[in-house]
Each structure stands twice: as C-alpha cells, then as structure tokens.
Amino acid sequence: MDFSRFPPRNLHLPIINAPMAGAAGGALASAVSRAGGLGLVGVGHGASPEYIERELSIVADNGNGAWGAGLMSWSLDRDSTALSKVLEYQPPVVAFAAGDPTNHARTANEAGSAVVVQVGTSTEVMAAAADRHIAAIVVRGSEAGGHGLNEVSTFTLLQFALRNSSKPVIAAGGIGSPQGVAAALGAGASAVWIGTRLIPTAESLASSDHKRRILRASAEDTVYTSVFDIALGTPWPHEYGGRTLVNEVTAEYAGTAKEAALRTASEQGSPEANELSSRVKAARASGDGSASPLYAGQAAGLVANDSPAPDSDFPPAADVLAELGGFRECLANAARLWAV
Ligand SMILES: Cc1cc2nc3c(=O)[nH]c(=O)nc-3n(C[C@H](O)[C@H](O)[C@H](O)COP(=O)(O)O)c2cc1C
C-alpha cells in the first residue's frame, strides 16, 4: 500500500470507523484506534466547540495515534469555525463529506493533516483524484447509512475509483462482515470505512433504542429520505437525503407524494408540517425511535438478528473489530482456491 502520508503510523487493521455525528464520539473512535484501526470523531452540522474539545481530547489522549475527525463540507461553507477548532488538535487525519471539499481540504492539508474525502459519484471520484490536497478517496455507495448521495452502489464505485485513480481508495457502505471487508480488500481497496455495524456497540453515542432497532432490522428495513431534515429544519442541501431505518414517520412520508409536498408545506409553516416537526423533535429528545431519525444502512441486516433485553449491554467495539478481522481467512481461502 503506497499511502505516502496516509495511513498514519500505528494503523494495524484496515478498518476505519465512519465519523458518525451522534454515534462516533471520542469513546468509539479511541476504542477503534486502540484495537488497531483508525478512529474518527463525527463533527456534525452545529457541533459546539465544547463537543469538539471534549470528544477530540478523548481520542487524542486515549487512542493509538491513528485518529482524526470528519466534517461536512456544505456546513463548513456556511461557517468554518468547527474546522479551525478541530485543527487545533492537529489530527493526523481529517475527513470531509457532502459538498465541494476543495477549500477545506487545502486548509486541513496545509495545517498538516492527511485529508480523505467521501465521494458518491464517478464525477466526484475524478475531482478527488485530481486534487493534490486529498490523500485518499472514500467511495461511499448508496447502501450506506446516514446522509450522502443515492446514486451508485459501493462495489461499482469502488471498481471505478480503482481503475481511474492512483490514490488509495477506501470502501464505504454496506460493509458489516468479514466477507465484506475481504471483498473490498480483495478488489484493491486500501481499507474499509464502517458506520452502521459499529452503532450497536457500548462506546457509540447512539440511543439504546437506535442500537436495538439496528439489531432487529433486516437489510430491507432502510429507506432513503429527507423527511427528518425537513422536520428538524436541518439545512442539508436538497440533493442529500439520508438512509435510515423504517419507522412510523418514514412509513407515512418516505418516497410518497406527502414527502414531496412537505418541504413547501414546511416553508409555509403549514399546521401539518409544524405538527410533524414537534413530533420528531419530541421523539428525538426522549430517544424514542418510533418517530425520530435512526440513520443506518443496509448493513443493519448483517448485525446479529436478535432482540436483547432492554437493559442488556451492547458489545465493545473491539469485539466487532475482532470479528471483522476474519477477513484474513476469507482472503486466504480465495487465494487457495483461485490464485494461479
Ligand atoms: C448514524 C450515522 C451518522 C453519520 N454521520 C456522518 C457524519 O457526521 N459525517 C460523515 O461524513 N458521514 C456520516 N455518516 C456516513 C458515514 O460516514 C458512512 O458513509 C456510512 O456510515 C458508511 O456506510 P455503512 O453505514 O453502511 O457502514 C453517518 C452515518 C450514520 C449511519
């Protein structure tokens, strides 16, 4: 692997936790880093300076030196304070997603961080390949959890990037098993980027209801929608929706004429839009997943399909990484069967 300045020193496993706002704070990132992977803290839109200080201090002090933070380009276009704050901690890696990363990648790279960028189309792959401030390309397929484009699957975009860029390529979206890790690495990815599979872990900041619902979900139980952004008034650019588990709100709105009409209804302050907004905000505040966003991808169907008791513990992230480490056996089997 010719990463030049990426990966940082101390990366022993080709596994990176996705910088998930609301799930990947310092505890999850440092657990992944200590287990030999690269731990990233999610810095979402509106993250406070106190959140950034607290969570980055945890991973900078308790990880294994392989750590970083992930931010949203569209949000930094509006206010770049979060990036300045993150760079005060001199993270070895800074990740950007959603929007034009050009200016932010230059800023982070000139401050000394290795920059990785999530892309969702072949056009974005080519732009990242040509940008000298970007060290590695994260191809994020439409099966991934959380916000992103809903255009191309992970495996197709991975092959395109490997054929059209000499930079390290990291595969994201739908990977949640040793077989998936092996598939990406066998194709030529330098590492995998895992979100959903790491949400139901002890260190994740997600609500217990969110974690339990992922354990119960199958691969068909997700939907791509903007209904929660509209209801919560989060100013995501309109081309970005989010992949979430189905619940009462998605059943009523996602992909329907009601969802199409909701943005205008919300701008006009219609009673129905206001009522939905109050309902989603209240559910989110109380950790009730029946009406709040439960961002997760199709890999939810790869997490053990059991229903833990409400007060049972979730496994440490290190256990998940140990399980994913089974990729070595998958690759060895393939080599034994097919290598010439
Ligand atoms: C709950 C959740 C929150 C996320 N938040 C962010 C974020 O703040 N920044 C970001 O770059 N990506 C975010 N993502 C997307 C991930 O970086 C990544 O693309 C995705 O999780 C990979 O697919 P997978 O979930 O199938 O593993 C989020 C994903 C989830 C599931």
- Average pLDDT of the residues in 26-36: 96
Nearest ligand 1 atom to alpha carbon 176: 27
Is residue 223 a contact partner of residue 254, using CB atoms and an 8 Å limit?
yes
In this structure, which residue's CA is closest to atom 11 in ligand 1? Answer: 97
Ligand 1 mean position, distance from CA 198 (Å): 10
**Residue range 127-185, pLDDT digits in tens:** 999 999 999 999 999 999 999 999 999 999 999 999 999 999 999 999 999 999 999 99
Q: How far apart are CA 272 and CA 292, in angstroms?
A: 17
Indicate whether residue 120 lines ligand 1 (CB < 6 A): no
Ligand 1 mean position, distance from CA 145 (Å): 5
Ligand 1 mean position, distance from CA 206 (Å): 12
In this structure, which residue's CA is closest to atom 8 in ligand 1? Answer: 21
User: Is beta strand 169-172 parallel, antiparallel or unpaired with respect to 222-225?
Assistant: unpaired
Q: How far apart are CA 7 and CA 86, in angstroms?
A: 19
Would you state the pLDDT for residue 7?
Answer: 58
Nearest ligand 1 atom to alpha carbon 23: 1
Ligand 1 mean position, distance from CA 97 (Å): 9
What is the value of pTM for the model shown? 0.95
DSSP 3-state of 30: helix
Q: To the nearest whole number, what is the mean pLDDT of the chain?
A: 93
Q: Structure tokens of 208?
A: 């217990």
Nearest ligand 1 atom to alpha carbon 138: 19
Would you state the pLDDT for residue 325?
Answer: 96
Domains and CATH numbers, the chain: 15-206+320-335 (3.20.20.70), 218-295 (no CATH)
Nearest ligand 1 atom to alpha carbon 42: 8
Indicate whether residue 42 lines ligand 1 (CB < 6 A): yes
**Residue range 49-98, pLDDT digits in tens:** 999 999 999 999 877 889 999 999 999 999 999 999 999 999 999 999 99
Q: Kindly tell me if the per-residue pLDDT of 34 is higher than 90.
A: yes
Beta bridge mates, 172: 140, 193
In this structure, which residue's CA is closest to atom 4 in ligand 1? Answer: 20
Nearest ligand 1 atom to alpha carbon 96: 11
Which ranges of the chain would DSSP assign to H, the alpha helix?
26-34, 49-62, 73-78, 81-87, 102-110, 122-130, 154-164, 178-187, 208-216, 227-232, 248-253, 257-267, 271-286, 317-324, 327-338
Q: Assign 3-state DSSP to the chain and report helix, strand, coil percentages, each to 5.
A: 45, 15, 40
Q: Structure tokens of 302?
A: 């790869």
Q: How far apart are CA 147 and CA 183, in angstroms?
A: 24
Indicate whether residue 99 lines ligand 1 (CB < 6 A): no
Indicate whether residue 194 lines ligand 1 (CB < 6 A): yes
**Residue range 214-248, pLDDT digits in tens:** 999 999 999 999 999 999 999 999 999 999 999 99
